[in-house]
Amino acid sequence: MAQQFDLIIVGAGMVGATLARALADTSLRIAVLDAMALDQPLTARATDSGYDPRVSALSAASENILANLDAWARIDPAFRSPYRHMCVWDGEGTGEIRFDAGMLGENRLGHIVENWRVQQAVLDSLTGTPVTLLGGQRVTEMLQEPTGWRLQLDSGEVVQAPLVVAADGARSRLRELAGFAMREWDYLHHALVTTVRIERPHAHTAWQSFLPSGPLAFLPLNDRDGGHYCSIVWSLLPEQAQRIMALDDPQFRQELEAAIEGRLGCILHADQRHCIPLRQRHAQRYVMPGLALIGDAAHSIHPLAGQGVNLGLLDVAELTAVLQAALQRGEDFASLPVLQRYERRRMGANLSMMAAMEGFERLFHADALPLRWLRNSGMQWLNGQGMLKAGVVRRAMGLGGSLPALAQAAENVD
């Protein structure tokens, strides 16, 4: 016999778990389903630095969402690494821009946090709520019925709900089973990620250089045992990624130090390197009757500005607002007209961010002399425009435009 719910969220990652917590206090009977076990604590990968290589640059809007859901305070401040400044420059020219949170009277642009710590904090915040956690289960089939969706699980169990939300990542199984059309293309780049110990303090600054091979970002992590640390994301052509992955540790540290122009002194240590092919995906629609895509299941972008999880959390905030309003009005919360309100509010914003990232990526790969001159001159010009820079900072913090209630300022976010 099938278990009955009002809402089934498939995917208990940062985005899916946050949606469950955001709706936990409503009248909806909610289940969260994930292939991983949900009845035991998460753990980080073992690394020399003690930092997991998978991190996110959480914007101020994302912090607001987590704080409003009692999750932010569950992340130990020792593992919330604030960045207050950004320094972006052309590795092949003279253009450079510096951004500062003080331009908006803020004390940070955001925080770098290991993904597993964010996920654990949100899962912990579900303790004591009526949300049902169904861990260690995979969806093998889904069938649309007059009353909603019927999901067959690999355990042999069946669950049903009028509304299902796919939060199961960039390679979403639910998106595939439901037949959502996608636009996707390969960036022809791989992202090399690791954690490094550096000689000089990072000064709570996110450093990003645009190199001919692709952007290189050093994201500041809190000092540990007197050492200074950064998480790095280095976008490389496949053959370059293969070469650099094959280097021994001293050679790798030497190349990395040269790529960042020695701005942080010597690279004293590097954890194990990981290489991830980069691919952009965007669903042509986010919803169908009784089914919605959020986060990477709907869109995945180049990690150029660390916006992926921030876009996903804003999806959560908008979908939460739409569903809460529908419940208050007595509407069919799983109906297509209701879900299309979420789609309209988020698709344009996500496409805009994706287009901006694509434009940056193409501009900095252009090697023609006029374009190189234009981008360097433009960076130097923008660096002197206080009002325009403040607008860029505001957008980077996720505070531009009309924000849903869940993403608006919370108290005691530090």
Q: Are residues 234 and 210 in the same domain?
A: yes
What integer pLDDT is reported at residue 366 of this predicted model? 45
Q: Are residues 253 and 298 in the same domain?
A: no
Based on the number of CB atoms within 10 Å of its own CB, is 394 exposed (0-12), middle (13-18) or buried (19 or more)?
A: middle
Q: How far apart are CA 215 and CA 389, in angstroms?
A: 20
What integer pLDDT is reported at residue 170 of this predicted model? 93
CATH code of the domain in which 52 resides: 3.50.50.60
Q: Is the distance from CB of 174 to CB of 168 less than 8 angstroms?
A: yes
Q: Are residues 33 and 158 in the same domain?
A: yes
**Domain ends where: 236, 251, 278?**
278
**Domain ends where: 278, 309, 332?**
278
- SS3 per-residue string spanning 352-388: HHHHHHHHHHHHHHCCCHHHHHHHHHHHHHHHCCHHH
Q: Are residues 154 and 199 in the same domain?
A: no
Q: Is 248 inside a domain boundary?
A: yes
Q: Is 144 inside a domain boundary?
A: yes
What integer pLDDT is reported at residue 369 of this predicted model? 47
Q: Are residues 174 and 304 in the same domain?
A: yes
Helix (H) or strand (E) holding 66: helix 60-68
Q: Is the distance from CB of 228 to CB of 200 less than 8 angstroms?
A: yes
What integer pLDDT is reported at residue 364 of this predicted model? 47
Q: Is 100 inside a domain boundary?
A: no
Q: Are residues 177 and 216 in the same domain?
A: no
**Domain ends where: 237, 258, 278?**
278
Q: Is 196 inside a domain boundary?
A: yes
Q: Give the chain's residues under pLDDT 50.
A: 363-364, 366, 368-373, 412-413
Q: Is 102 inside a domain boundary?
A: no
Q: Are residues 302 and 355 in the same domain?
A: yes
What integer pLDDT is reported at residue 213 of this predicted model? 81
What integer pLDDT is reported at residue 354 of this predicted model? 60
Residues 6+ apart with CB under 8 A from 39: 133, 135
Q: Are residues 174 and 204 in the same domain?
A: no
What integer pLDDT is reported at residue 299 of this predicted model? 93
pLDDT in tens, 343-393: 999 998 877 666 555 555 554 454 544 444 455 555 555 555 555 556 666
- Reported as half-sphere exposure (CB side, CA atoms, 13 A), residue 212 has a value of 6
| pTM, 2 dp | 0.91
Enclosing domain of residue 136: 3-83+110-184+280-407
pLDDT in tens, 2-55: 899 999 999 999 999 999 999 999 999 999 999 999 999 998 888 999 999 999
* Structural domain count, the chain: 2
Q: Is 292 inside a domain boundary?
A: yes
Q: Are residues 49 and 128 in the same domain?
A: yes
Q: Are residues 128 and 26 in the same domain?
A: yes
Amino acid at 50: G
Q: Is 99 inside a domain boundary?
A: no
CATH code of the domain in which 234 resides: 3.30.9.10
Q: Are residues 205 and 263 in the same domain?
A: yes
| Alpha carbon 316 to chain centroid, angstroms | 12
Q: Taken in order 70, 74, 78, 83, is the CA torsion positive or negative?
A: negative
Q: The tokens 């939060």 sit on which residue?
A: 167
Q: Is 228 inside a domain boundary?
A: yes
Q: Are residues 284 and 274 in the same domain?
A: no
